[in-house]
Amino acid sequence: MSAPPGAVRDSAVTVSGLRKSFRVKDGTVAAVTGLDLTVAAGEIFGLLGPNGAGKTTTLRILTTLLPADGGEAIVAGADVRREPRVVRKRIGYVGQLGGADANATGRENLLLAGRLYGLSATATRQRATELLTVFDLGALADRAVRTYSGGQKRRLEVALGIMHEPRVLFLDEPTTGLDPQNRANLWDQLRQLRATGATIVITTHYLDEADQLCDRVAIVDHGAVIALGTPEELKRRYSGNAITLTPSVPTADLPGLAKELAAMAAGGAGTGAAQGAAVSGGTIRLAVTDTTRAMAAACGLLAARGIEVADVSVARPTLDDVFLNETGKTLRDTGVAA
């Protein structure tokens, strides 16, 4: 069995030309359109993108829950299509809805998972006790899961996903619905898992989660990877600064102004200062390489339209700016959380 093109010896996941479409009432919808990526062993790798970008579909294919229409994928050294049983033994998966039995206790959930994975009774008890300690669930071990908070339940679900010490752990939107404190606590647990050598692949809607937690990020849109690298690499590569301008009076012409500013990126106005422009929440957001020239061009354009600027700010680039540069819209425009 040969690995897909671009596979490396120490890769935990290698994907080449992955494709998946779904039949709908009026035809077909392409969810994944030739996706390529490689995840190194021992890293936290994030798939970041808006709803409908293909992130969850990709994860479901890599975890053998959904067959691909085309392409190849090697996960934990096994071919997803040809060796699904081997892949399942080597991975852990925590879906968006979790999988804990709400009427059982946390300990009972872990004991059942261990036995289902084929661990001996003694090894299962030892592993359950270890994970209850690692995830700070010892005091809750013998309470029904239905009494857990959202953060406590999510930690238990991650513990269930690694009960058998998988080579690769897949997490689909692991912190959706959690408050900031519980999100931060779960991040700490995932970093500790990485420190033990685990490979973690997560999908996320949160810009700050991808920025702070992931070693590398693939930004996905329309079923394909549009940018790939460490968060810092992406921010350095795709933009210099971000300028946000807020008109003093809301105007319906902001989309048109954003298009004019985007034309500057292509040299239409001869500035070359702005790389991309988008409208979000009554503001114009620019990703720029030359802050001074872009600021002057943008303010001049607004002044020529008789639009006063109530607020203007300059910030270092974010992953949202990377998405803006690649697609002409921001992740926030698509409903992705900041």
pLDDT tops 80 at residue 75: yes
Q: Among 70-79, 85-94, 210-219, 238-247, which stretch is predicted with the lowest mean pLDDT?
A: 238-247
Q: Looking at residue 200, what is its pLDDT?
A: 97
pLDDT tops 70 at residue 168: yes
Q: Summarize pLDDT for 319-330 with one digit per residue, the tens.
A: 877 777 776 666
pLDDT tops 60 at residue 239: no
Q: Among 167-171, 289-293, 314-318, 328-332, which stretch is predicted with the lowest mean pLDDT?
A: 328-332
- The verdict on residue 5 lying in a domain is no
What lies within 8 Å, CB to CB, of 125 at 6+ separation is: 111, 114
- The verdict on residue 270 lying in a domain is yes
Look up the CATH number of the domain holding residue 280: 3.30.70.980
Q: Looking at residue 155, what is its pLDDT?
A: 92
Confidence of residue 107 (pLDDT cuts 50, 70, 90): very high
Q: Among 184-188, 228-232, 321-325, which stretch is predicted with the lowest mean pLDDT?
A: 321-325
Q: Summarize pLDDT for 121-154 with one digit per residue, the tens.
A: 999 999 999 999 989 999 999 999 999 998 899 9
Buried b (16+ CB within 10 A) or exposed e, 81-91: eebbebbbebb
Residue 172 identity (one-letter amino acid): D
How many residues can be counted in the chain? 338
Domain membership of residue 277 as a residue range = 235-334
Percent of the chain with pLDDT over 70: 87
- Both 225 and 316 in one domain: the answer is no
- Both 156 and 225 in one domain: the answer is yes
Last-in-domain residue among 207, 229, 251: 229
- The verdict on residue 95 lying in a domain is yes
- Both 311 and 202 in one domain: the answer is no
Last-in-domain residue among 204, 229, 254: 229
- The verdict on residue 107 lying in a domain is yes
Number of separate domains in the chain: 2
- The verdict on residue 3 lying in a domain is no
pLDDT tops 90 at residue 103: yes
Q: Among 30-34, 50-54, 90-94, 157-161, which stretch is predicted with the lowest mean pLDDT?
A: 50-54
Q: Looking at residue 337, what is its pLDDT?
A: 46
Look up the CATH number of the domain holding residue 225: 3.40.50.300
- Both 100 and 248 in one domain: the answer is no
**CA distances (Å), origin 74, targets 178, 262, 309:** 32, 40, 52
- Both 173 and 248 in one domain: the answer is no
- The verdict on residue 26 lying in a domain is yes
What integer is the mean pLDDT of 212-217? 94
- Both 265 and 315 in one domain: the answer is yes
Q: What is the token pair recorded at 238?
A: 């795709």
Burial of 306 by CB count in 10 Å (0-12 exposed, 13-18 middle, 19+ buried)? exposed
- The verdict on residue 1 lying in a domain is no
- The verdict on residue 6 lying in a domain is no
- Both 26 and 166 in one domain: the answer is yes
Q: Looking at residue 283, what is its pLDDT?
A: 81
CA atoms within 13 A on the CB side of 322: 25
- Both 27 and 123 in one domain: the answer is yes
Angle between helices 106-116 and 121-134 (to 10 degrees): 130
What integer is the mean pLDDT of 197-206? 91
Confidence of residue 9 (pLDDT cuts 50, 70, 90): very low
118 neighbors 145 (Cβ within 8 angstroms): no
159 neighbors 113 (Cβ within 8 angstroms): no
Q: Residue 298's closest CA among 259, 245, 249, 228?
A: 245
CA separation for the pair 305, 240 (Å, rounded): 27
**CA distances (Å), origin 182, targets 147, 149, 179, 257, 333:** 16, 10, 5, 40, 26
What integer is the mean pLDDT of 46-66? 92
- Both 165 and 295 in one domain: the answer is no
- Both 16 and 104 in one domain: the answer is yes
- Both 63 and 206 in one domain: the answer is yes
CA separation for the pair 19, 68 (Å, rounded): 6
Last-in-domain residue among 201, 229, 257: 229
- 203 — phi, psi (to 5°)? -100, 145
Other CB atoms within a 10 A radius of the CB of residue 244 amount to 15
Q: Looking at residue 249, what is its pLDDT?
A: 73
- Both 172 and 257 in one domain: the answer is no
Higher-confidence position of 85 and 258: 85
CA separation for the pair 114, 125 (Å, rounded): 8
Q: Among 77-86, 95-104, 174-183, which stretch is predicted with the lowest mean pLDDT?
A: 174-183
